[in-house]
Amino acid sequence: MPIVSHRLHLPADIVRHDRTVGLVERILDLHKKLATEQAQHVKTVLQRQVEATNQEIDRLVYELYELTAEEIAVVEG
Protein backbone atom coordinates (compact mmCIF):
# COMPACT_ATOMS: atom_id res chain seq x y z
CA MET A 1 0.00 0.00 0.00
CA PRO A 2 1.47 3.39 -0.92
CA ILE A 3 2.13 6.08 1.62
CA VAL A 4 -0.69 8.60 1.65
CA SER A 5 0.48 12.11 0.92
CA HIS A 6 -0.62 14.87 3.23
CA ARG A 7 -3.68 16.72 2.02
CA LEU A 8 -3.59 19.40 4.65
CA HIS A 9 -5.69 21.71 2.55
CA LEU A 10 -8.73 19.55 3.36
CA PRO A 11 -10.37 20.42 6.71
CA ALA A 12 -10.96 16.78 7.68
CA ASP A 13 -7.30 15.95 7.07
CA ILE A 14 -6.16 18.93 9.14
CA VAL A 15 -8.30 17.70 12.02
CA ARG A 16 -6.99 14.13 11.60
CA HIS A 17 -3.39 15.38 11.46
CA ASP A 18 -3.76 17.54 14.57
CA ARG A 19 -5.48 14.72 16.46
CA THR A 20 -2.72 12.29 15.50
CA VAL A 21 0.02 14.69 16.61
CA GLY A 22 -1.76 15.20 19.93
CA LEU A 23 -2.10 11.45 20.47
CA VAL A 24 1.57 10.83 19.66
CA GLU A 25 2.57 13.52 22.16
CA ARG A 26 0.26 11.92 24.73
CA ILE A 27 1.67 8.43 24.21
CA LEU A 28 5.24 9.73 24.55
CA ASP A 29 4.31 11.48 27.80
CA LEU A 30 2.59 8.34 29.11
CA HIS A 31 5.68 6.24 28.34
CA LYS A 32 7.86 8.70 30.27
CA LYS A 33 5.53 8.50 33.27
CA LEU A 34 5.38 4.72 33.00
CA ALA A 35 9.17 4.46 33.03
CA THR A 36 9.51 6.39 36.28
CA GLU A 37 6.42 5.24 38.16
CA GLN A 38 6.98 2.92 41.13
CA ALA A 39 3.44 2.11 42.24
CA GLN A 40 2.13 -0.95 40.42
CA HIS A 41 -1.50 0.18 40.43
CA VAL A 42 -0.51 3.48 38.81
CA LYS A 43 1.64 1.63 36.26
CA THR A 44 -1.38 -0.50 35.39
CA VAL A 45 -3.52 2.59 34.81
CA LEU A 46 -0.79 4.20 32.71
CA GLN A 47 -0.37 1.03 30.63
CA ARG A 48 -4.11 0.96 29.94
CA GLN A 49 -3.94 4.59 28.84
CA VAL A 50 -1.03 3.74 26.52
CA GLU A 51 -3.03 0.88 24.99
CA ALA A 52 -6.14 3.05 24.52
CA THR A 53 -4.09 5.85 22.95
CA ASN A 54 -2.36 3.39 20.64
CA GLN A 55 -5.74 2.02 19.53
CA GLU A 56 -6.92 5.54 18.74
CA ILE A 57 -3.78 6.17 16.66
CA ASP A 58 -4.41 2.90 14.82
CA ARG A 59 -8.00 3.97 14.12
CA LEU A 60 -6.85 7.27 12.65
CA VAL A 61 -4.31 5.49 10.43
CA TYR A 62 -7.00 3.06 9.25
CA GLU A 63 -9.15 6.06 8.33
CA LEU A 64 -6.25 7.73 6.55
CA TYR A 65 -5.70 4.66 4.38
CA GLU A 66 -9.44 4.01 4.10
CA LEU A 67 -9.01 0.38 5.16
CA THR A 68 -11.94 -1.99 5.05
CA ALA A 69 -12.88 -4.20 8.01
CA GLU A 70 -11.23 -7.13 6.24
CA GLU A 71 -7.98 -5.20 5.71
CA ILE A 72 -7.96 -4.09 9.33
CA ALA A 73 -8.38 -7.71 10.42
CA VAL A 74 -5.32 -8.65 8.35
CA VAL A 75 -3.27 -5.80 9.81
CA GLU A 76 -4.23 -6.68 13.36
CA GLY A 77 -3.59 -10.36 12.63
Residue 6 is assigned to a structural domain of this protein: no
Mean pLDDT of the chain: 89
Query: How many other CB atoms are found less than 10 A from the CB of residue 34?
Result: 16
Q: Kindly state the average pLDDT of the residues 58-73.
A: 90
pLDDT tens for each residue of 19-28: 989 999 999 9
pTM: 0.80
Residue 35 is assigned to a structural domain of this protein: yes
Domain residues for the domain of 25 are 11-72
Residue 5 is assigned to a structural domain of this protein: no
Residue pair 43/37 in contact by the 8 Å Cβ criterion: yes
Structural domain total, the chain = 1
Percent of the chain, pLDDT > 90?
65
Q: Kindly state the average pLDDT of the residues 40-67.
A: 94
Residue 54 is assigned to a structural domain of this protein: yes
Residue 40 is assigned to a structural domain of this protein: yes
